[in-house]
Chain A
């Protein structure tokens, strides 16, 4: 019904529709993503201190991302279903390798160097592989999931989660866990289990605090609770980003005019804190427009997921979309000071190739499940 509605909105040009069909792309989602990417380049131009070579690189990443999306969209979802357990196995091996031969920075070991040619983060791939595996597993089970299924699901989710947490990369590990859990929720996990899980999380929080978290991670949480306690150390980032956002006001200071960002008060302004640059320069109006854009992408994505041909496709696309939104929420939440600072980039806006490519691959999956529903 809603699909009919969307078709009616399409221009009557049947040849144009055919092109999208042949490309296995959804024009609406594609358009939204294009808008986001273009906006991203403009924001980055200002946030990078008008570093044109950074813009070229980011544009290249976008090109790479859109290409990967296009390629992945061509695969029938059943390929993902078949590949899921293998990819999961490979992912676990890669994470193990990180421990053994990984390279790191700032006390964390996250990277894997491939023949010394390029480096990649297996944890980034797991963001895609875990929901895929969950969808594969749940699709083969009777839904809504019962205890045994839930227990196995927990195993699938928390093995890679804990491995990433130990790298240590708290932010990514929580997002990996989240992406798996969303699949479970979308599969119809009963409310009793959800309530139980919430209680469990509250119970194990102290264990995490004393047993698992590194000092710098604890520091982040402490700073989150009271940023003024260390205004020049770890509180600096959050104070400066709040100042940037707040001083932007309703209309913003104008593109390239944000003093907080342009005068380098704002740290990591072109990566994790890029939303502060945007909020300072474009104001509340700009922020609301950006949030609307993200909201449109997520709603469209969820709608596309619900139209998919089978449980695997639905669960995979749905959990990827929610995960995507969670990135948005966590990033903006942390920069605006309602969540602790964890290293999560703003999806498709922050500078960085890995994140763009992974996210666009996820959108490729969504395109695939939506465009392959009849066959």
Chain B
């Protein structure tokens, strides 16, 4: 249960080694935080270092593509650690080279989109049962309007984003919430070596935006916030302009 100043006691991270998710956990840390559960493809690969000393760090195996196991995994975590106050859906792959490889592209969809739907529904069932809790979905501006350079990834994010906002509507009145986070280009281990885009930010900036959004009860958070306005315009930019911006 969150306390009265919106500090969670239990956080589950789906994609436990995600830089952004770990920065969010750091931002949400307080004496109230009891347990962080890191769900990774292989529990043993979870990096349990770098968290506050008095917080219990637990790990669990979570494969985004093994959809049949998602519901039982969430139930297991809740049975072991109690109510989930915040769940961060942070797994995903960039899939930079998939445009010429239909199988790899479909696999990316299985991880980024199908995995998000399956695990998102499993989390939603648990939060609904609790009557409280927030699922934080790390979407991306890449899904707001897809680009030639990463349109497969963008399309998975578009799907995930549409799923998340719709899930939020479906949970209205249940006490459970969904917060969809749309970061721009974020400096992290996932984007290392890539050319930075305008409005590039650090993981800590995303974390602050998320913490602020949770405090306010936002359903959508853009990071940085000005991307909301930028994309309100870019969404309607003519195709030739959009292609030029991507080149």
Indicate whether A and B interact. Answer: no
Write the residues of chain B forming the contact surface with A, with a CB cutoff of 8 angstroms.
none
Binding site for B on A (CB under 8 A): none
